[in-house]
Structure 1
Amino acid sequence: MLKSAYRPPGEPGLWHDFLAQLERTLAQVEAHPATVEYLIHPRRTVALTVPVQLDDGTVHFFSGYRVVHNIALGPARGGVRFHPRVSMGQTVGLAAIATVQSAIFHLPYGGAAGGVAVDPRRLSKGELERLTRRYAAELVDVIGPDKDILGPDLGTGEREMAWMMDTFSTNRGFTEPGVVTGKPPQLGGVSKRGEAVGRGVLYAVETFAEFKDLRLEGSTVAVQGYGKIGRAVVRLFAEAGARVVAVSDEWGAVYNPEGLDHKTLLAHFKETGRVEGFSGAHTIGREALVGLEVDFLILAAVEGVLHEGNVEQVRAGVVVESAVGAITAEADEHLRQRGVPVIPDVLVGGGGLTMDYLEWVQNFSMFNWSDDRVWLAMQRRVSQTLREVCEYAEDQEIDLRLASYVLGVDRINVATHMQGVYP
C-alpha cells in the first residue's frame, strides 16, 4: 500500500481507504511521480482548539480541524461537519475524496474538509452559534471564495453557513457570500439546496439503471439513514415509483415488504424523533437492514457502516454509497469479488457538489438564476458524469469506483504536470 509521510493522529479511517483506492488507481493510469506525491501529502492541515462559553458560564474547549488536500484544479471546497467522531484522520480522508470528486465532475475545485468534534444536539442554540462563529473566526486568514470555500455536512446546514458567512464578512469589513455554500436563499443560497443531495442520489441511480437496462419504477429500496438526506431520498424514490420497503436510523429500523408510506412515516418521525414504532411497518434490528433482499441498498448515514463484519450479509442487487466512505476498503473488495455493483460516493454525492458550484458561480456573478435553471443544470451534470463513468467502466471492464478514480486522477495529473512545481 502507498506510504504517506503524513500520518494523522488516531484512527486513519477514510485516509487509509483513500490511499488504498489510490493505489488501485495508479495501476490503471500513468501519473507523474510529482502528482502522486501531491495526492498523498495534504496541502494544509489545521488543528484548532475552539473555546466556547456555555450557557452556565463555564468555558469548554472543542477540537476542530480544517484540511486543504489539493488545489490543482481550483480553490479548495469542502463541508464542515459537527459530529462527535470528527477527527483529523477522518477530515483528511474527506478532503482527499473531495479532490477526486471535483475532478470527476469537471468542476474547478480542489478538495477540502473540516469539522468540530461535538454533538450539536447537546448544545443550546446560543452555544452552537458561539461555537460556529469561533470556528469560522479561527479560519478567517485561510478561507475565502478564491481559497477555501466552506459548505454544509453532517450536523450543519443553512443556519450554520449563515453564521460562518457573517463571521467572515464582519472580520473582512464587507459582505462575502461566496465564502460558504449551502446558505439560506435570502443570503445568496440556492433555493431548496437541502434537496440537492437527495436528488443527486436519485439522478445517479436513474442514470445507472438506464445504462444497465434496469427498472427503477417498481424496484425495491432499503435506505440506511433517515437524516436530512435519507428523508429526501425516501420521498424522492417513492415519488419516482420505487417501493421503499425499509428505513433505519441510529436507534432502529422498520420494514414492510409491501412498501412504506413515506408521508405517514415522516409524520411519525417528526412526532417521536425516530422510525421505530411506526404503525405502517414492523420493527427489525438496525443491522438487519443491510441484509434485506432488495434491488437497491442506499447507505445514507455515516462512513464505515458496511464493513468486514457485516458485508457478507448484503443481498441487494446494487449498493448505493450516498454517505462518503460508507463502505470500507475491505468491504468494497468483498463486494467486487462477489460481483455486486456499487455506485460509489464520489458519483452519488455529485448532486450536492454541483449545487454548491452553481451557488458559488451565482455569488461571483451577483445574479440569481431561476430554480428550474439550477435544477436542470444539476441534473444534466450528474447524468452526463454517470454515463461517462459507466461507459468507461464497461469499456475497460472495471468497477465504477475504479473508473471514477482513474478519470479523476488523470485530470488532476494533467493539471499538476502543466503547472509544474513552484521553486
Structure 2
Amino acid sequence: MSNSDVFQDALNRVREIGADADINPEVVESLLYPKAVIKASLPVRMDDGSTKYFTGYRCRYNDVLGPTKGGIRYHPQVTGEEVQALGLWMTIKCALLRLPYGGAKGGVIVQPKELSPMELERLSRAYVRAMADFIGPQVDIPAPDVYTNARIMGWMMDEYEAIKRVRSPGVITGKPVSLGGSLGRDEATGRGAYICIRELALKQDWQPEKTRIAVQGFGNASYHVARLLQKDGFKIVAISDSQGGIYSDSGFDIESLWKEKQSSRQVRAVYCEQSVCQLVEHKEITNEELLALDVDVLVPAALEGVITNDNVKSIRAKNIVEVANGPIQTEAEAELEKQGVSILPDVLVNAGGVTVSYFEWVQNRGGYPWDLEEVRSKLEVQMTRAFEQVWKLATTENRTFRNAAYTVALRRIGEAVTSHGTREYFREDE
C-alpha cells in the first residue's frame, strides 16, 4: 500500500468509526484536514565538501486538546501523505490516553545508514533550522521515531536553543537523560505494549508458557515488549527485521538476540552466557512467512501497511497486537474480523512512548526529574486505565477494540470541539 493510500485509509477509518459511534459530523469533519503542513529543502554539507539537499516535512495535525506532539522519522520512503496519516493517528492516541496534546508528525526523506555521524548531525540541525518557527514547547513538540534516537533529539534541542537564544528543554522529548530526558523513555513504547498484552492475557485467561508469539520487527520497541513478555513466561518463537527473520518452536532468548543484533546488525539465533554466544537450532524465514505463522499472538512492530488484501488470507494468528503504526489496511482488517481475529489497535498499544514523552515534558516544565520507578508507575496507571476503558466499551457495546479505542478518543475530541460551539449551538433557533 502506498503512503498516499495510508493517509486515505486513515481518513476512511475515522469517517466509518465516527459514523458508527454517532459522533457529531462536525467533529469528524475537523479531523479530516491537518491544521498545517510544512515542506522544506534541507541543504547539508557532506563530508566530501559537496552540498546535498534533503526534503523534510512537519505536520501539525490537530491542536484542539493542546500543543501538538509527534515523532520525526528518517526514512527513504517518507512522504507528506504518510506524515499526515501519522499525525492523525497521534491525535487519536493522545485523546485516548487523556494527554493534553494534539497530534503531529515529521520526517526526512533519507537513508540514514548512508550518512556519516557528522552528516547525520548536520541534517538534524538543518531540519530544526527549517522548522524553528513551526515547533516550540507550547506549539509542537517533536520526539524520536523510525531511525532517530536520543542523540539526534539532543542535537535538535541544541540547535533550537541556539536559534531562539533561550534554554528550552521542553521543545523536544526523547532526549538523553543528561540533557533533560526522562528515565524510562527508551523502554516506554515497548513497556506500554507489554502492559496491554499482559492485561489482555489476564482478561482472556491465557497461560503464558503455552502462548506462542511472533514479532515482526526488532527495533527498540519490539525488543522491550518481547523481553518483558519472555520474562513473564511467554514464548517468543519468531523475530524478524527488515532483512528477514528466524523461527524456533522452542522459543528464543530475547536478551541474547538483542546483544547479537547490536554487535552484528543482524537477527541471528543465538544464546549468550556473558560474552560467549552460540548458535541455536532455528529456521530462517521471510517477513511474509513470519506474518503467516500459526501462533497465538502476532505482533507487527515494523512499518505501516504490512497486512493487506494480498496477504490477509494467509494470516493464521487469532490475536494481532499492533506495536507499529497502521500495520493493517482497513479492507484487510474487515477480512480478519470475518476470520474471528482479535486486533488490539496501535493507538492504544504503542501509546506508552508518547505518554512518557508527556512525562518528560512535564518534568522539563517543572524543573524536577522523576526516578525510574515513578515513571513506570505512572505509565502503568495511564496504560491500564486506557485499556480498561477500551475493553469495557468493546465488551459492553459489542465493538471491536479499534472501534472502541477510536470512539473513546473521538468523544473526548468532540467534547472540546463542542465547547467552542457547533451548528446545534449557533442555530439553536431551528
Is the pair's TM-score, using the shorter chain for normalization, greater than 0.5? yes
Tell me the TM-score range normalised by the shorter chain: over 0.9
Alignment coverage as a number of residue pairs: 413
Partner of 2:373: 372
Runs of 4+ in 1 over 6 A off after TM superposition: none
Preserved contact between residue 199 and residue 236 of structure 1 (Cα < 8 Å): yes
Preserved contact between residue 224 and residue 300 of structure 1 (Cα < 8 Å): yes
Same amino acid, percent of matched pairs: 37
Partner of 2:163: 171
Partner of 2:345: 344
CA distance in 2, matches of 1:416, 1:267: 48
Structure 1 residue 118 displacement after superposition: 0.5
Preserved contact between residue 21 and residue 402 of structure 1 (Cα < 8 Å): no
Partner of 1:356: 357
Do structure 1's residue 22 and structure 2's residue 14 form an aligned pair? yes
Preserved contact between residue 202 and residue 237 of structure 1 (Cα < 8 Å): yes
Aligned partner of 1:239 among 228, 231, 248: 231
CA distance in 1, matches of 2:295, 2:143: 33
Post-superposition Cα deviations, 1:364-412, rounded to whole Å, max 9, x if no partner, equal 1111111111100001110111011011011110100011111111111
Shift in CA distance, 252/181, structure 1 to aligned 2, threshold 3 Å: same
Preserved contact between residue 93 and residue 348 of structure 2 (Cα < 8 Å): yes
Partner of 1:157: 149
Q: What letter matches 1:18 in structure 2?
A: A
Q: How does 1:64-83 map to 2 (within 5 A)?
A: 64-83=56-75
Partner of 1:387: 388
Q: What letter matches 2:243 in structure 1?
A: W
Preserved contact between residue 208 and residue 387 of structure 1 (Cα < 8 Å): no
Partner of 2:275: none
Q: Which SS does the other structure have where 2:74 is aligned?
A: strand
Question: Which shows bigger deviation, 31-40 or 345-354?
Answer: 31-40
Q: What letter matches 1:377 in structure 2?
A: K
Partner of 2:276: none
Structure 1 residue 34 displacement after superposition: 2.9
CA distance in 2, matches of 1:243, 1:362: 37
Structure 1 residue 328 displacement after superposition: 1.3
Q: Which SS does the other structure have where 2:58 is aligned?
A: strand
Post-superposition Cα deviations, 1:209-232, rounded to whole Å, max 9, x if no partner, equal 222232334411111001222222
Partner of 1:208: 200
Q: What letter matches 2:53 in structure 1?
A: F
Partner of 1:12: 4
Preserved contact between residue 252 and residue 269 of structure 2 (Cα < 8 Å): no
Q: What letter matches 1:286 in structure 2?
A: N
CA distance in 2, matches of 1:299, 1:376: 26
Q: What letter matches 2:35 in structure 1?
A: R
Structure 1 residue 265 displacement after superposition: 2.1
Q: Which SS does the other structure have where 2:20 is aligned?
A: coil
Listed as ranges, the gaps of 5+ residues in structure 1 are 1-9
Q: How does 1:31-42 map to 2 (within 5 A)?
A: 31-42=23-34
Partner of 1:123: 115
Shift in CA distance, 61/420, structure 1 to aligned 2, threshold 3 Å: farther
Structure 1 residue 239 displacement after superposition: 1.1
Structure 1 residue 200 displacement after superposition: 0.9
Question: Which shows bigger deviation, 11-20 or 64-73?
Answer: 11-20
Post-superposition Cα deviations, 1:160-217, rounded to whole Å, max 9, x if no partner, equal 1101111111111111000111011111111131111111110011112222232334
Do structure 1's residue 111 and structure 2's residue 103 form an aligned pair? yes
TM-score (norm 2): 0.93
CA distance in 1, matches of 2:143, 2:3: 24
TM-score (norm 1): 0.94
Structure 1 residue 277 displacement after superposition: 6.3
Shift in CA distance, 387/277, structure 1 to aligned 2, threshold 3 Å: closer
Question: Which shows bigger deviation, 375-384 or 23-32?
Answer: 23-32
CA distance in 1, matches of 2:6, 2:55: 19
Cα RMSD of the aligned pairs, angstroms, is 1.6
Shift in CA distance, 104/273, structure 1 to aligned 2, threshold 3 Å: same
Q: Which SS does the other structure have where 1:198 is aligned?
A: helix
Preserved contact between residue 206 and residue 216 of structure 1 (Cα < 8 Å): no
Partner of 2:48: 56
Q: How does 1:315-354 map to 2 (within 5 A)?
A: 315-354=316-355
Preserved contact between residue 222 and residue 323 of structure 2 (Cα < 8 Å): no
Preserved contact between residue 94 and residue 102 of structure 2 (Cα < 8 Å): yes
